[in-house]
Amino acid sequence: MAKAKSYAAESKDAPLKYYEFERREPTENDVEIKILYSGICHSDIHNVRGDWDDVEYPCIPGHEIIGKVTRIGKSVKSFKPGDTVGVGVMVNSCGTCNACKTNYEQYCEEGMTLTYSSEDPIDGTDTKGGYSDLIVVTEKFVFAMPEKLDITKAAPLLCAGITMYSPLVHWQTGPGKKVAILGLGGLGHMGVKLAKAMGAEVWVFTSSPEKSEDAKSYGADGVIVSSNEEEMESAYRKFDLIVDTIPVKHELEDYLKTLKINGTICIVGQINPMPGFHGGDLIGGRKSIAGSGIGGLKETRDMLEFCAEHNVLPDVEEITMEEVNDAWDNMLNKSMSHRYVISVKDSF
């Protein structure tokens, strides 16, 4: 076993602080990775604070990981020591169910193994994530990073990037389509950049008027302030697709009215119960409410190549581990319209 350094929460109310633990030895199919950068996702906060389920503490979050391979198991064929690689939200799945066999590992019928706060099928321990300097992951769930991508900025692609890319591709975003991104945080700003690179007309719904200039700097063609009744009415039946990134429960009624006939609002940010909606808002236009979660392994590789080809990268603010608690506070206060990335290599 190898000793790893990390920042962990000892309870749902505790701040993150320095913590050492032992990473398991790589099996013949594993890749050991020295972590260089780890993105901060809003789901890190939800998970650690127990918003979604019971959590084993100490909890080490982080599932947007970029690092260098240090060791490989004897059966590993795709990687060698020194390779630059990424790890996302999941580190294993059953591999045998219909979902896994059709490139939808994120919807594994047995339940995917999450990068943190999940049971490792190898040794039964609780998985621990990227707010650490070392991780061991099954080869299949490790991604080669395209050389064109700036690794100081690319970590959020492994969650925020694929979370937005997957629904945009599924609903055929491209020229002639009008897409709205609901919320302009870490997810939302990636959605704007990706949809624009795909050729769509892109708008942003936001409750924070001060984020309008940020939205336009990311490529948005327009901004609608959700509290402005006149602006909301002007968007009646405007959009083919709305990707909803808001991480807390909220009403959908006003947004459904902005969908075209056959339009879809896809929820990617909120996984708790949502308030009700009026059935007439769906029936009157054959509209749909859908959901989407990250992406499978193939789709994630496709996303990385797309981002490399089109130079799509998140706007990031680089911090060290000591600044994590302040970063979380800023995210909870909705004062972020981009993404934090922890420079792990500069933290320990």
What is the tens place of the pLDDT at every residue in 314-325?
999 999 999 999
By the 8 A CB rule, do 242 and 183 touch?
no
**Domains in the chain: ranges and CATH:** 2-159+295-346 (3.90.180.10), 160-291 (3.40.50.720)
Q: Using CA atoms, how far apart are residues 192 and 218, in angstroms rounded to an integer? A: 6
Q: Using CA atoms, how far apart are residues 125 and 120, in angstroms rounded to an integer? A: 5
Mean local confidence (pLDDT), 96-106: 98
Q: What are the tens digits of pLDDT across the range 150-166?
A: 999 999 999 999 999 99
Q: What are the tens digits of pLDDT across the range 65-80?
A: 999 999 999 999 999 9
Q: What are the tens digits of pLDDT across the range 162-203?
A: 999 999 999 999 999 999 999 998 899 999 999 999 999 999
Residue 54: per-residue pLDDT: 83
Q: Using CA atoms, how far apart are residues 129 and 116, in angstroms rounded to an integer? A: 5
* CA torsion, ordered 332, 334, 340, 344, to nearest 10 deg: -10
Q: What are the tens digits of pLDDT across the range 8-26?
A: 999 999 999 999 999 999 9
